[in-house]
A = this chain, B = another copy of it.
């Protein structure tokens, strides 16, 4: 009972097994470069000592961490949860570890976290959306850390991306809304500043208006952060406008759920009195009643493919492909024909 000091090191194992540190290292990292008998002896010492290699030391020596970092805007709601889960599963299968942090939609926080992750040796980074200070991309280039953008598809940008066309998706949905006879349409959007998804969804809605000869400025929009309460509040303000909107497009399902609740609190029938649409198709969309008509996003596919693509970028030092995924409208019960009263 000596050695209470601290965790055993490679050296301790080597000495106790009567071999050199190099051999122990090989047993762990390239077992076939060591003869069976030696390996067994070493491994049993590893076990009895409860040895775990020191990660920092390994990283320093080997210059690889097998770690991928991801920074998502929020963990408070489920928007990124499913995709991230798939991302992590795929990474794990390929021997990588995922480090996640959330930036609370704050650019400074995101930047700090990017630096933290890079300093920690992340081999690659997953970022959400394209909008950020170009200096960050410079920094990433300089540090030679590949980054892949997800949840957004915009070709020919600084970083490769995997995602869907937010603009087009919202345009299709709005087109459908208009097709149902709605002319008084309002929108509850996330904060578009620094958020290309939010910005493009707004643009998409405007595109649809234009396509139908309506003036895009007619679309009254409230921007607010993605929280149920905010959706509710925005709904209350929008619905009291004159002329009163008959359809409200929401920037995501969370906002839509809030709007829906507020509508119900105000005694309004959805979609009888007012239609509400969501975006993302998270679980929430199916739970509320009426269930939300929304844009389905292939979360798991996106997460899984992002992992593969990023690993490719890391291992082959390629610049990465930009991949477009398809979305589709799922019609449930929160959208109905316009009810001209």
Provide the residues of chain B in CB contact with A21, threshold 8 Å: none
For residue A50, CB closer than 8 A to chain B, the reply is yes
Asked if A33 is at the interface of the complex by the 8 Å CB criterion, the answer is no
Interface residue stretch chosen among A34-42, A53-61, A176-184: A53-61
Residues of B contacting A55 in the complex (Cβ-Cβ under 8 angstroms)? 56, 119-121
Bitwise, A108-119 to B at CB < 8 A (1) or not (0) is: 000000011011
Does A100 lie within 8 Å of B97, measured CB to CB? no
**Contact A85 B81, beta carbon cutoff 8 Å:** no
- Do B6 and A144 have beta carbons less than 8 Å apart? yes
CB closest residue in chain B, given A112 = B92
A167, CB-defined interface residue at 8 Å: no
User: Once the chains bind, are A287 and B257 in contact (CB under 8 Å)?
Assistant: yes
A261-B287, A283-B228 as given contacts; A85 in contact with B76, CB under 8 Å: yes
- The verdict on A225 contacting chain B, using a C-beta distance below 8 Å, is no
Q: Any chain B CB within 8 A of the CB of A84?
A: yes
Residues of B within 8 A of A57 (CB): 56, 60
- Quick check: A82 and B78 within 8 Å, CB to CB? no
Distance between A82 CB and nearest chain B CB, rounded to angstroms? 6
**A98 interface residue per 8 A CB criterion:** yes
Q: Which residues of B contact A115 (CB under 8 A)?
A: 52
A142 within 8 A of partner (CB): yes
B53 A56 Cβ-Cβ under 8 A: no
Q: Which residues of chain A in 129-147 are interfacial with respect to chain B, using CB atoms and an 8 Å cutoff? A: 138-139, 142-144
Collect the chain B residues with CB atoms within 8 Å of residue A82's CB: 76
Q: Is A77 an interface residue (CB 8 A)?
A: yes
Q: Inside 8 A of A85's CB, which chain B residues have their CB?
A: 75-76, 102
Which residues from B are CB-within-8-Å of A97?
Answer: 101, 116
Residue contact A102 to B76, C-beta cutoff 8 Å: no
Q: Which 8 A-B pairs have the closest CB atoms?
A: A56-B59, A56-B56, A55-B119, A55-B120, A56-B60, A52-B119, A75-B81, A100-B100
A interface with B by C-beta (< 8 Å): 6-7, 50, 52-57, 59-60, 65, 75-78, 81-82, 84-85, 88, 97-102, 115-116, 118-121, 138-139, 142-144, 228, 257, 261, 264, 283-284, 286-289
Subset of 8 A-B contacts with CB under 8 Å: A52-B118, A56-B57, A97-B116, A98-B101, A99-B99, A228-B283, A228-B286, A288-B288
